[in-house]
Structures are given as structure tokens and as C-alpha cells.
């Protein structure tokens, strides 16, 4: 199972690259799939990511914490006003 999640970033392609190349929390990061690749129009889904349903609840909790802290650290995170 998957779900799409809107993030406060303009370009989740860039955010996903940043997560893998420039960010870690205690030596760990998460990998997300930018949702723009799931749309026929390349501008749709630019602020969405696709995340997988994880059965291991502890792993899911850890991943959410890493993602949350990454969004705080990401230099291109939008403000609430910009995000809406």
C-alpha cells in the first residue's frame, strides 16, 4: 500500500535527492518517491511524495521522526503561508 503526502517543499524531486545525499539523523535517512512521476503533467505532484505502508510500527515511527527533522533542516522548506 502507498499514500501520497503533501510536503511544505516546492520540488520533492530535489528534496528526495537531498535526503539521500546530504541528510542523516544519527547515521540514518529515509528514501521517498517524488509523486510527480505518477502524473502525466510534469508540474502536478511537485509537492507530493509517495510513501509505503510499513508493517513494522517501530520502523515507521523512526522514519516519521527522520522525515520530520529533515523537513526542519531542509533549506527550501516553505512557510505555512507559502505551503497553503
Tens of pLDDT, residue by residue over 9-37, are: 999 999 999 999 999 999 999 999 999 88
- Cα 35 to Cα 7, 20, 26, 49, 58: the distances in Å are 11, 17, 27, 5, 25
Rounded average pLDDT over 53-76: 92
Answer yes or no: is pLDDT of 82 > 80. Answer: no
**Closest Cα to residue 47, out of 21, 23, 73, 71?**
71
**Residue 42, pLDDT score:** 75
Question: Do the beta carbons of residue 29 and residue 71 sit within 8 Å?
Answer: no
The reported pTM is 0.86
Residue carrying C-alpha cell 524531486: 13
Amino acid at each position: 500500500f502507498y499514500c501520497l503526502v503533501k510536503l511544505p517543499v516546492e520540488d520533492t524531486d530535489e528534496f528526495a535527492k537531498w535526503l539521500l545525499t546530504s541528510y542523516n539523523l544519527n547515521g540514518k535517512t529515509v528514501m521517498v518517491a517524488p509523486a510527480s512521476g505518477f502524473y502525466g503533467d510534469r508540474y502536478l505532484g511537485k509537492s507530493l511524495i509517495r510513501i509505503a505502508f510499513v508493517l513494522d510500527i517501530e520502523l515507521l515511527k523512526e522514519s516519521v521522526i527522520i522525515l520530520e527533522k529533515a523537513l526542519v533542516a531542509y533549506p527550501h522548506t516553505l512557510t505555512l503561508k507559502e505551503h497553503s
